[in-house]
Homo-oligomer: A and B are copies of this chain.
Amino acid sequence: MSEKLIGSCIFGQSGGPTSVINASAYGVIKTALEAEEITAVYGASHGIVGVLNDELFVMEEEDPVELSYLLHTPSSELGSCRYKIADPEVDDTDYKKILEIFKKYNVRYFFYNGGNDSMDTCNKVSRYMKSVGYDCRVMGVPKTIDNDLYGTDHCPGFGSAAKYIATSCMEIGKDARVYDNKMVVIVEIMGRHAGWLAASAALATAYGSGPDLVYLPECDFDMDQFLSDVDALYQKNGKVFVAVSEGIHYADGSFVSEAKTSATDGFGHAQLGGLAAMLAEIVKNRTGAKVRGIELSLLQRCGAHLASATDIDEAFTAGKVAVEKAIEGNSGYMVAFERETVDGQYHCAYRLLPLDAVANFEKKVPLSWINDQKNGVKDEFISYVLPLIQGEANVPKEDSLPRYARLKKVLANQR
């Protein structure tokens, strides 16, 4: 146990929203409000941007019941940002401003919740504070639906997105097979560089009503092979259901969504409808089939009504552990998840991973979990993802619609 460090804390949210990032917020805020070492709890408006602009919300002003609704409120309730901070060794302008704010509010704890880029920000803040001898404990809380953070078995946000995708694909699978006609459905799923989310569509197939073909960015995409895969099933079954990751790319690395292709004539407007619409057009031209392109869009990352209880619980705990471990004296770490088997059951253990080990690496779906035809996943993937989607969210309701947190957001600099 290190020496007791007494002071206030700042918590910030960064990067793309998820269904459970506010559950991590609640884990941090609730634990910090209850900690005797922490004298005040501030929530940064739009992450590090709110720190730079001295826009900090006073969490003590919030109704505890409203704060508890954060467990089921999607998106980043304090506001997010995509601000790219400089290397402190190259340009320390931002860091001087951050230090000024930290001193103004006697900030001794900084918790930052996000993905790869956010852990990089977190790491840089940690490094700078150490370099100038300002005593502040910095901890990263992981978040990304993409599940591509290095060093953790999985990320908060992924399980809920996977559950949304699997459930939606089961429903689409039912809908797409209802008529006695021939039809191809192509669903586009998020994941620019890793295929964890698109692979989760295979859960729908494992439970009876999902895609026949799944394409991930872990493998180079071959348009001719894709069309041949679709055509073979189309000739055999008359119905084909395809799931593709938005990040599929050709062997030269160019994204399919951005490429013009010779497989169709006069096509040059991919930006209008995205990848699903583009592939639908190509398949239609090739097979003459009726084809419907569907983009799951924002809904897959903010579908909190379908969140996994396991994910909510782990997201909350990640925030809680970050605060507890910082109070114990740790700094410069991200909370990581380790999968354990206890009495034959899935169990999540919480570990600390040095921030400089996690920042800017990407974790991809193992190639050994992808089938030989590169158009589907093996049982290993299903076994991996299944525990992460378990349990119902039990979202609080008002007139049968979700009841989200309503925060006052009182600014510290206006009190």
From B82, B172, B180, contact of A79 by CB (8 A) = B180
B175 close to A305 (CB less than 8 A):
no
Task: State in angstroms the CA–CA spacing of A298 and B79 once bound together.
Answer: 31
Beta-carbon contacts under 8 Å, A176-191 to B: 176-180, 185
B302 close to A17 (CB less than 8 A):
no
Task: State in angstroms the CA–CA spacing of A175 and B49 once bound together.
Answer: 18
Q: How many copies does the complex hold?
A: 2
Task: State in angstroms the CA–CA spacing of A392 and B398 once bound together.
Answer: 12
From B74, B80, B298, B306, contact of A292 by CB (8 A) = B298
Chain A contact residues, majority secondary structure: mixed
> Which residues of the partner chain B approach A46 to less than 8 Å between Cβ atoms?
179-180
B400 close to A299 (CB less than 8 A):
no
Task: State in angstroms the CA–CA spacing of A81 and B45 once bound together.
Answer: 53
From B82, B172, B208, B297, contact of A302 by CB (8 A) = B172
> Which residues of the partner chain B approach A49 to less than 8 Å between Cβ atoms?
180
Report A298-321 CB contacts with B as 1/0, cut-off 8 Å: 110111111010000000000000
A interface size (C-beta, 8 A):
66
Residue A390 lies at the interface, judged by CB distance under 8 Å to chain B:
yes
Task: State in angstroms the CA–CA spacing of A120 and B175 once bound together.
Answer: 23
Report A272-293 CB contacts with B as 1/0, cut-off 8 Å: 1110011001000000000010
Report A60-74 CB contacts with B as 1/0, cut-off 8 Å: 000000000000011
**Nearest 8 CB-CB pairs, A to B?**
A273-B273, A75-B174, A175-B302, A272-B273, A269-B269, A171-B302, A46-B180, A294-B297
Beta-carbon contacts under 8 Å, A151-198 to B: 163, 166-168, 170-172, 174-180, 185
> Which residues of the partner chain B approach A82 to less than 8 Å between Cβ atoms?
179
From B208, B277, B278, B292, contact of A406 by CB (8 A) = B208
A-B contacts, 17 listed (Cβ < 8 Å)? A17-B178, A49-B180, A80-B178, A167-B401, A170-B402, A170-B404, A171-B298, A171-B305, A174-B302, A269-B269, A271-B281, A277-B277, A292-B298, A294-B298, A305-B306, A389-B399, A391-B400
> Which residues of the partner chain B approach A397 to less than 8 Å between Cβ atoms?
392
Task: State in angstroms the CA–CA spacing of A334 and B179 once bound together.
Answer: 24
B272 close to A398 (CB less than 8 A):
no
Task: State in angstroms the CA–CA spacing of A390 and B398 once bound together.
Answer: 10
